[in-house]
Chain A
Amino acid sequence: MGPKKEASGEAIASSMLRMANLKVPVISIVIGEGSSGGALAIGLGNKVLMLENAIYSILSPEGYASILWKDSSRAKEAAEKMKLTAKDLYEMKIIDKIIKEPEGDKNESFLEVAKSLKKEIKAFVKEFKNMSEEEIVENRYQKFRNMGEFEILNKQEDEKC
């Protein structure tokens, strides 16, 4: 029974619910292409970090273009509009920190990234070390509770909805 075939929706929901309840500090790091519910299902961290060149989005640009414009060939245009880069997401307060990646794609680059990650994880553990279980859960709750800014409107006329 493949997850896509039967119940990925329920699986994502349950995974998020479980994460929301975890009594230990959680750090999620986007290291490549993170998209849709699959990424979010393991993304409910007290802190969410992202590699400089990783992407994190509601859907693949192809899927996005296909839903919004009924044309998956407009993926490039979609990718530009979607704000899926680490820089965009940091500005939108979706992620907490960007992990720098060295220029060029060399073997040594990975070591350098790993070093930075180690440093960040250490700092993360230290930051949450003295928090109680309730404080850790509440910290995570407030983080996601405040996602999505809105404006207050004048009173609606329609009383029913």
Chain B
Amino acid sequence: MIVDKIKKREPTAKQIDNKVDIQVSKWVKCDICKEIIYKETVRSNYGICPNCGSYFRMHINKRIESIIDEGTYKRFDLDIETTNPLGLEDYPKKLKGLRERTGIYEAVGCGTGKINGEEVVICVMDSGFLMGSMGIVVGEKITYSIEKAIELKLPIIIFTTSGGARMQEGIVSLMQMAKTTSAISKLNKAGLLYISVLTDPTYGGVTASFASLADIILAEPKAMIGFAGKRVIEQTIGENLPEEFQTSEFLLEHGFIDKIVERKDLKNTISELIKLNK
């Protein structure tokens, strides 16, 4: 009886949810200029604020859509789950909730596809999933993708966005830096092209491993990129750092990245680079 009552009540709750959802989801607020914008306008504008030009963070699916030729993306058959090495109680629950909320399975999606006709292996990280942090699953998927690129003799493109190693998996997350880096070393020996595209924000263990080791390192404008956060460094060294510190523009000036590319030009730039490196 009680079950029946719950069942009856369920749709009502959902209906209310949906109503709210429709009202809220049509509009989005820009973090930088605080302007309220019609979501569709942002979407059709490569996820860029039409008012101030700042970049919204991008969902995996949207990124793939914007880079990979339609109908050519094929995700790797690699469906794996962390073993929760620290045995944290609330961690599996958190992952489950995130999966439902974000519609993605982990902080990185990997597969093959074509960029203006050029076949590549592509990995796309998503900061919407536990801040894009790298644990066992992300480390394994990136490593697997690099090995696949070697096997298929294809260039590999990795879009990074991450807070760093995933704290919830402790030292095993740290070891994913060693694992992905070792795979890059094999890729180098195979002489295949690797392009990383650093997007906002790229930090910690991801910066300190595969993101920084590409043959060509691209970045989106005004992306924040670093190892430790600016505030942490200022507190550690007891000095104030310049305003533009850790932006892609600052890093370009200091030689850590090769080129800043506007979002709308990324697809063509990457395919041009692949053609040049053939």
A interface residues (Cβ-Cβ under 8 A, vs B): 2, 4-10, 12-14, 16-17, 20-21, 36-37, 40-41, 43-44, 56-59, 64, 67-68, 81-84, 89, 92, 94, 140-141, 144-145, 147-156, 158-161
Q: Closest CB of chain A to B53's CB: distance in Å?
A: 27
The reply to whether B80 and A37 form a contact with Cβ atoms under 8 Å apart is no
Select the residue from A14, A64, A81, A160 with max chain B CB neighbours within 10 A: A160
Q: Using CB atoms, name the residue of chain B closest to A153.
A: B79
Q: Closest CB of chain B to A32's CB: distance in Å?
A: 16
Select the residue from A57, A89, A147, A159 with max chain B CB neighbours within 10 A: A147
The reply to whether B186 and A141 form a contact with Cβ atoms under 8 Å apart is yes
Top 6 A-B residue pairs of the complex, sorted by shortest distance between their CB atoms: A161-B109, A9-B227, A9-B207, A148-B136, A12-B208, A147-B175
For residues 207 through 236 of chain B, which have their beta carbon under 8 Å from a beta carbon of chain A?
A: 207-213, 226-228, 233, 236
The reply to whether B179 and A145 form a contact with Cβ atoms under 8 Å apart is yes
B interface residues (Cβ-Cβ under 8 A, vs A): 60-61, 64, 73, 75, 79-83, 85-86, 88, 103-106, 109, 124, 126, 135-137, 139-140, 143, 165, 167-179, 181-186, 188, 204-205, 207-213, 226-228, 233, 236-237, 239, 241, 254, 256
The reply to whether B109 and A160 form a contact with Cβ atoms under 8 Å apart is yes
User: In the bound complex, how far is the Cα of B178 from the Cα of A41, in angstroms?
Assistant: 8
SS class, residues of chain B in contact with chain A: helix
The reply to whether A16 and B167 form a contact with Cβ atoms under 8 Å apart is no
- Chain A positions within 8 Å of B88 at CB level: 81
Q: Using CB atoms, name the residue of chain B closest to A59.
A: B167
The reply to whether A67 and B136 form a contact with Cβ atoms under 8 Å apart is no
- Chain A positions within 8 Å of B227 at CB level: 4, 7-9, 12, 37
Q: Using CB atoms, name the residue of chain A closest to B213.
A: A13
User: In the bound complex, how far is the Cα of B209 from the Cα of A84, in angstroms?
Assistant: 22
The reply to whether B208 and A43 form a contact with Cβ atoms under 8 Å apart is no
The reply to whether A40 and B178 form a contact with Cβ atoms under 8 Å apart is yes
The reply to whether A4 and B209 form a contact with Cβ atoms under 8 Å apart is no
Partner of B60, one of A67, A92, A144, A161: A161
15 residue pairs A–B, Cβ–Cβ below 8 Å: A5-B237, A7-B254, A8-B208, A8-B228, A9-B208, A10-B208, A13-B177, A37-B174, A40-B175, A40-B177, A57-B174, A144-B182, A147-B179, A152-B79, A158-B103
User: In the bound complex, how far is the Cα of B203 from the Cα of A36, in angstroms?
Assistant: 13
Known: A20-B185, A160-B73, A161-B75. A82 touches B228 (CB 8 A): no
The reply to whether B256 and A57 form a contact with Cβ atoms under 8 Å apart is no
Beyond A92-B171, A148-B140, A161-B64, 12 extra complex contacts between A and B, CB < 8 Å: A4-B233, A7-B227, A9-B208, A10-B208, A12-B227, A17-B184, A37-B177, A82-B171, A92-B85, A149-B85, A150-B81, A151-B81
The reply to whether A145 and B176 form a contact with Cβ atoms under 8 Å apart is no
- Chain B positions within 8 Å of A56 at CB level: 171
User: In the bound complex, how far is the Cα of B161 from the Cα of A142, in angstroms?
Assistant: 27
The reply to whether B212 and A144 form a contact with Cβ atoms under 8 Å apart is no
